[in-house]
């Protein structure tokens, strides 16, 4: 491919795509090879895979911390882990699971899947996508390096002031926590912008919003929630770290500050966050259930409206985390009502799924098992949620193991079970190989049993008055038996996770080849080969229905005329997805990674000196400018394709 | 623009067997390769950032009034910020929307010369309000570590100054690029969206000005 050929007549894909064009597309869209290429990668599938693997790595780390806690609590008066280390461990566990696993893993799945599901060659802003991944990785590594050096945060995952303030938490521990928030929220906010733009502008022709897969709807709603929820915690943690480092007084009552301000800001983010984790889980459900019921989803419009209603209501719940504070009773009643009301859209979706399952022909494979477990586990968590929404009961069990049980039922039932279903469901697409069904069933049953054995007894422990976050308890309290059972359950979960890792490891090598559509599913990601080519689809498929692969008329048509030598992406209108323009996307570059490194220097440096914000902004500025600055060969190729509106 | 060739040959080779019976194609080669406003990705990206940053500013203003209701006197022990520099800067910011508007218009006409001229004028305004911002910060009459009032005033100022600095830098880079090249159509879109962001920086300043300068006098 010479420059002159490029300048004269750019090659564009025809339909059917010729072998030569397919090879050119592969060459154009794949990331460069070697270590440099690995650092410069921007293909959404490469970034998505790394994101998923990294998030799973943090899930394992957070799980090992949980195992350490269960080991410590297995019997009364245990002296295995001291109180100081225990404080760090429960803080690290909560922080890891909430900030480094639950929200990022959902965004990671969507980075990989959404372009495939909407028939695009890429996410919007692929370089920013790479930057967001590196920021997330470096932030997580910073936290674990600090933990290894005995400066892990120790004030709980919601770091209440005044405990986390300069008077009661001297040293650097909480500063690392506050900067971890900055890292993860920056990454999460960028991913939200990328996702909204991708979904609104990069859908394939014919994919009107009314035909958008429900998983993509879920991620779209989540992205909007991220944009309005995450700023609160970024602002809160910035105020916390300036209180600690430069003597501001946001949370210091002696100088006009207010400790409750922290709780308001934190939970204004923190409650929506539960739904940032839960709504993608609902999206997984809505993707898996139709495939294994062999019919389209029942009540598509009701499902979409419920998702949006959930998102709005989620912002009206934050005070129910603060029922034990001195807020006006009337205010609390409002939040009780809102907490009860959010059960309605959740119930609408659950009934739609049941209707789909009821009227379908069930294919009981591992992904569906995990989805079915959702109904059982989440409903139990939802019941205790309704109990906690009433102020008198909440006061009784506040800060006890009852709350620990509730939140694990909701988060693991609502998000982690569907997520594992999603791993089993999309693993063949990502790797080209099937996971073992036999190991999958062992994984599932051990997880389900282990989960209930671990967390059900915690309800009882909470009612018996066992407070959360205690490193041990005296034998006279009589909590030993139930704690021993919970620890056995944790061991069972650990074994089930080990089986999952073994399953992935073996299947990567010896799994049955998957083919393009092993489950005979209806959505677009199954129209391309497994794993997909670098460009996702050699010719972009046009769609004419919600389940394009199940349409009676078959494939509507294909797109031709996109460049095969430049990263050209088709853009469509927001509502109707009518073709609008074709934009040449940027090439891979190492600068997002360098920019993320420079940003890391700035964030970590600011823990030690506020001046780091000033001097470290110079390398950040240089990296971001080099990232933007156009290169001439790329520019020439784009000019050859250019056509003014 | 879109040709649907119903007679296109049945494809022998497509992405997957399930979609093998394509009977028509959508030809996109005649589509434009860039577009302004909501047609561009950059517009959506900028809109997303503006949504996020509006939330940040909004919450910071809520923090201001939340802290205010918790004390007897406001400001607790210091005079309010001097009006002069802040008001001067407000005037500069508001006037700067005019060259900014002209830069946006020039970009939408794909007028390289016009973009060069008006981006340079914008840049001069950027330098001016950064310099005046320096004087503003010396006239707040309170330190961030004096009390919670000082903390929230400095937080508001720091948040907005960050936006001034980043947008001035963006404008500098774009301006240099329009003199040196290499250019292509979507760089004009970048100028247009940079102007949109500039509007946001100006418009978001007005409530912050009211809070920092007028609320302590009210």
Nearest to B42 by CA among B199, B209, B191: B191
Residue B24 pLDDT? 79
Quickly tell me which residue has 């390769």 as its tokens: B33
Question: What is the C-alpha to C-alpha distance for residues A601 and A142, in angstroms, rounded to an integer?
Answer: 11
Token pair of A279 as six digits: 């709504």
Given a cut of 60, whether residue A514 has pLDDT beyond it is yes
pLDDT digits over A457-476, tens only? 999 999 999 999 999 999 99
Given a cut of 70, whether residue B4 has pLDDT beyond it is no
Q: What is the rounded average pLDDT for all residues in chain A?
A: 94
pLDDT digits over A598-645, tens only? 999 999 999 999 999 999 999 999 999 999 999 999 999 999 999 998
A-to-B residue pairs, Cβ atoms closer than 8 angstroms: 250
Nearest CA-CA distance, residue B96 and chain A, Å = 24
Given a cut of 90, whether residue A4 has pLDDT beyond it is no
Three-state DSSP class for A239? helix
Element (H, E) at B53: helix B41-68
Given a cut of 80, whether residue B199 has pLDDT beyond it is yes
Average of per-residue pLDDT across A43-56: 98
Average of per-residue pLDDT across A313-331: 81
Nearest to A280 by CA among A161, A128, A418, A170: A418
Which residues 516-535 of A are in CB contact (within 8 Å) with B? 516-517, 526-529
Contact B46, B166 (CB under 8 A): no
Q: Do B14 and A261 touch (CB under 8 A)?
A: no
Query: Angle CA(A564)–CA(A566)–CA(A568) in degrees, nearest 5?
Result: 85
With beta carbons under 8 A apart, name residues in chain B contacting A268: 59
Residue A552 pLDDT? 86
Q: What is the rounded average pLDDT for all residues in chain B?
A: 90
Picking from A22, A517, A561, the nearest residue to B28 by CB comes out as A561
Q: A627 — contact with chain B (CB < 8 Å)?
A: no
Do strands A557-560 and B24-27 pair parallel, antiparallel, or not at all (unpaired)?
parallel
Nearest CA-CA distance, residue B186 and chain A, Å = 9
Residue A5 pLDDT? 45
Picking from A231, A250, A528, the nearest residue to B56 by CB comes out as A231
With beta carbons under 8 A apart, name residues in chain B contacting A570: 28, 31
Question: What is the C-alpha to C-alpha distance for residues A54 and A67, in angstroms, rounded to an integer?
Answer: 20
Q: Do A235 and B56 touch (CB under 8 A)?
A: yes
Residue % of chain A over a pLDDT of 90: 89
A140-154, A229-243, A348-362, A378-392 — which is least confidently predicted? A378-392
Picking from B53, B155, B173, the nearest residue to A625 by CB comes out as B173
Three-state DSSP class for A583? strand
Residues in chain A: 645
Given a cut of 50, whether residue A3 has pLDDT beyond it is no
Q: Do B28 and A570 touch (CB under 8 A)?
A: yes
Q: Do A527 and B18 touch (CB under 8 A)?
A: yes
With beta carbons under 8 A apart, name residues in chain B contacting A645: 32, 34-36, 39
With beta carbons under 8 A apart, name residues in chain B contacting A162: none
Question: What is the C-alpha to C-alpha distance for residues A554 and A326, in angstroms, rounded to an integer?
Answer: 62
Question: What is the C-alpha to C-alpha distance for residues A178 and A251, in angstroms, rounded to an integer?
Answer: 14
User: What ipTM score was computed for the predicted complex, to two decimals?
Assistant: 0.94
B22 — pLDDT class (breaks 50, 70, 90): very low
pLDDT digits over A62-72, tens only? 999 999 999 99
Given a cut of 90, whether residue B1 has pLDDT beyond it is no
Residue B174 pLDDT? 97
pLDDT digits over A83-118, tens only? 999 999 999 999 999 999 999 999 999 999 999 999
Average of per-residue pLDDT across B59-76: 94
Residue A386 pLDDT? 82
Picking from A265, A538, A638, the nearest residue to B15 by CB comes out as A538
Nearest to B25 by CA among A392, A205, A414, A95: A205
Given a cut of 90, whether residue B21 has pLDDT beyond it is no
Question: What is the C-alpha to C-alpha distance for residues A11 and A32, in angstroms, rounded to an integer?
Answer: 21
Given a cut of 60, whether residue B14 has pLDDT beyond it is no
Token pair of B151 as six digits: 């903390």
Query: Angle CA(A609)–CA(A612)–CA(A614) in degrees, nearest 5?
Result: 130
**Calculated CA dihedral for residues B140, B144, B150, B153, nearest 10 degrees:** 70
pTM above 0.90, yes or no: yes
Nearest residue of A to residue B23, measured between CA atoms? A557
Given a cut of 50, whether residue B2 has pLDDT beyond it is no
B23 — pLDDT class (breaks 50, 70, 90): low
Contact A223, A188 (CB under 8 A): no
Average of per-residue pLDDT across B123-138: 96
Average of per-residue pLDDT across B12-31: 60
Do strands A568-572 and B24-27 pair parallel, antiparallel, or not at all (unpaired)?
unpaired
Residue B114 pLDDT? 97
Which residues 96-135 of A are in CB contact (within 8 Å) with B? 124-125, 128
pLDDT digits over A420-444, tens only? 999 999 999 999 999 999 999 999 9
Given a cut of 90, whether residue A329 has pLDDT beyond it is no
Given a cut of 90, whether residue A341 has pLDDT beyond it is no
Average of per-residue pLDDT across B53-68: 97
pLDDT digits over A552-603, tens only? 877 779 999 999 999 999 999 999 999 999 999 999 999 999 999 999 999 9
Residue B7 pLDDT? 37
The rounded radius of gyration (Å) of the Cα atoms in chain A is 25
**Calculated CA dihedral for residues A138, A218, A315, B60, nearest 10 degrees:** 40
pLDDT digits over A522-554, tens only? 999 999 999 999 999 999 999 999 999 999 877
Question: What is the C-alpha to C-alpha distance for residues A389 and A374, in angstroms, rounded to an integer?
Answer: 21
With beta carbons under 8 A apart, name residues in chain B contacting A554: 19-22
Nearest CA-CA distance, residue B95 and chain A, Å = 27
Residue B6 pLDDT? 38
Question: What is the C-alpha to C-alpha distance for residues A263 and A240, in angstroms, rounded to an integer?
Answer: 12
Question: What is the C-alpha to C-alpha distance for residues B52 and A457, in angstroms, rounded to an integer?
Answer: 41
A240-244, A485-489, A552-556, A630-634 — which is least confidently predicted? A552-556
Average of per-residue pLDDT across B167-179: 96
A8 — pLDDT class (breaks 50, 70, 90): low
Q: What is the phi/psi pair of residue A365, to 5°?
A: -105, 170
């Amino acid at each position: 491919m010479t420059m002159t050929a490029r300048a004269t007549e750019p090659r564009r894909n025809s339909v059917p795509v010729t072998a030569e064009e397919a090879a050119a597309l592969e060459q154009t869209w794949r990331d460069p090879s070697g270590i440099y290429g690995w650092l410069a990668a921007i293909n959404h599938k490469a970034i998505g895979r790394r994101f998923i693997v990294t998030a799973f790595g943090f899930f394992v780390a957070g799980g090992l911390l949980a195992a350490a806690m269960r080991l410590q609590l297995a019997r009364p008066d245990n002296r295995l882990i001291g109180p100081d280390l225990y404080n760090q461990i429960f803080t690290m566990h909560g922080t890891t699971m909430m900030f480094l696993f639950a929200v990022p893993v959902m965004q990671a799945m969507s980075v990989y899947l959404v372009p495939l599901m909407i028939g695009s060659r890429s996410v919007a802003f692929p370089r920013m996508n790479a930057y967001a991944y590196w920021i997330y990785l470096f932030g997580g590594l910073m936290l674990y390096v600090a933990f290894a050096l005995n400066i892990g945060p120790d004030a709980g995952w919601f770091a209440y002031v005044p405990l986390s303030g300069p008077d009661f938490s001297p040293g650097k521990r909480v500063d690392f926590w506050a900067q971890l928030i900055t890292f993860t929220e920056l990454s999460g906010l960028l991913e939200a912008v990328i996702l909204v733009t991708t979904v609104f502008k990069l859908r394939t022709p014919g994919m009107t919003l009314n035909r958008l897969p429900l998983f993509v709807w879920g991620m779209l709603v989540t992205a909007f929630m991220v944009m309005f929820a995450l700023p609160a915690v970024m602002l809160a943690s910035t105020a916390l770290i300036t209180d600690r480092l430069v003597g501001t007084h946001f949370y210091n009552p002696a100088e006009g500050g207010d400790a409750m301000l922290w709780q308001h800001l934190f939970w204004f983010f923190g409650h929506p966050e539960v739904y940032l984790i839960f709504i993608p889980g609902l999206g997984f459900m809505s993707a898996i259930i139709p495939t294994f019921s062999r019919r389209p989803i029942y009540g598509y419009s009701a499902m979409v409206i419920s998702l949006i209603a959930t998102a709005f209501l989620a912002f009206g719940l934050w005070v129910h985390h603060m029922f034990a504070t001195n807020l006006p009773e009337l205010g609390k009643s409002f939040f009780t009502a809102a907490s009860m009301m959010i059960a309605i859209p959740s119930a609408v979706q659950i009934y739609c799924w049941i209707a789909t399952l009821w009227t379908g022909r069930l294919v009981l494979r591992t992904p569906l098992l995990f989805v079915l477990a959702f109904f059982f586990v989440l409903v139990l968590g939802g019941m205790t949620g309704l109990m906690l929404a009433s102020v008198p009961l909440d006061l009784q069990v506040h800060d006890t193991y009852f709350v620990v049980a509730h939140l694990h039922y909701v988060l693991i039932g609502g998000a982690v079970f569907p997520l594992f279903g999603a791993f089993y469901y999309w693993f063949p697409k990502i790797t080209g190989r099937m996971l073992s069904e036999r190991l999958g069933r062992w994984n599932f049953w051990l997880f389900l049993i282990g989960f209930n054995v671990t967390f059900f007894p915690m309800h009882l422990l909470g009612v018996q008055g066992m407070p959360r976050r205690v490193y041990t308890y005296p034998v006279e309290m009589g909590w030993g038996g139930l704690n021993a059972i919970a620890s056995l359950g944790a061991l069972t979960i650990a074994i089930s996770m080990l089986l999952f890792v073994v399953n992935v490891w073996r299947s990567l090598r010896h799994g049955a080849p998957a083919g393009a559509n092993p489950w005979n599913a209806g959505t677009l990601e199954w129209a391309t080969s497994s794993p997909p080519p670098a460009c996702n689809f050699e010719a972009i498929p046009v769609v004419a229905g919600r389940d394009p692969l199940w349409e009676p008329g078959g494939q509507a048509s294909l797109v031709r005329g996109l460049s095969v030598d430049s990263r050209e992406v088709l853009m469509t209108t927001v509502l109707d997805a009518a073709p609008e323009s074709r934009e040449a996307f940027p090439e891979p570059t190492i600068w997002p990674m360098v920019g993320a490194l420079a940003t890391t220097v700035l964030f970590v440096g600011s823990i030690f000196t506020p001046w780091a914000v000033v001097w470290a902004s110079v390398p950040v500025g240089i990296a971001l400018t080099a990232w933007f600055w156009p290169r001439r060969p790329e520019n020439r190729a784009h000019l050859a394709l250019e056509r003014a509106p | 623009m879109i040709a649907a060739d119903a007679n296109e040959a049945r494809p022998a080779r497509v992405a997957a067997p399930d979609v093998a019976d394509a009977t028509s194609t959508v030809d996109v080669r005649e589509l434009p390769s860039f577009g302004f406003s909501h047609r561009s990705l950059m517009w959506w990206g900028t809109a997303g950032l503006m949504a996020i940053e509006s939330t940040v500013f909004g919450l910071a203003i809520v923090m201001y009034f939340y802290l205010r209701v918790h004390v007897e006197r406001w400001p607790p022990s210091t005079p309010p910020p001097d009006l002069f520099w802040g008001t001067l800067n407000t005037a500069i910011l508001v006037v700067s929307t005019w060259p900014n508007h002209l830069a946006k218009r020039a970009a939408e006409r794909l007028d390289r010369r016009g973009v060069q001229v008006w981006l340079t004028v914008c840049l001069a305004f950027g330098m001016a309000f950064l310099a005046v911002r320096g004087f503003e910060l010396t006239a707040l009459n309170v330190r961030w570590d004096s009390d919670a009032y000082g903390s929230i005033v400095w937080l508001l100022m720091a948040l907005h100054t960050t936006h001034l600095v980043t947008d001035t830098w963006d404008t500098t880079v774009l301006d240099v690029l329009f003199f040196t090249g290499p250019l292509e159509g979507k760089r004009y879109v970048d100028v247009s969206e940079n102007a949109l962001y500039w509007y946001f920086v100006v418009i978001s300043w007005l409530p912050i000005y009211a809070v920092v300068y007028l609320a302590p006098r009210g």
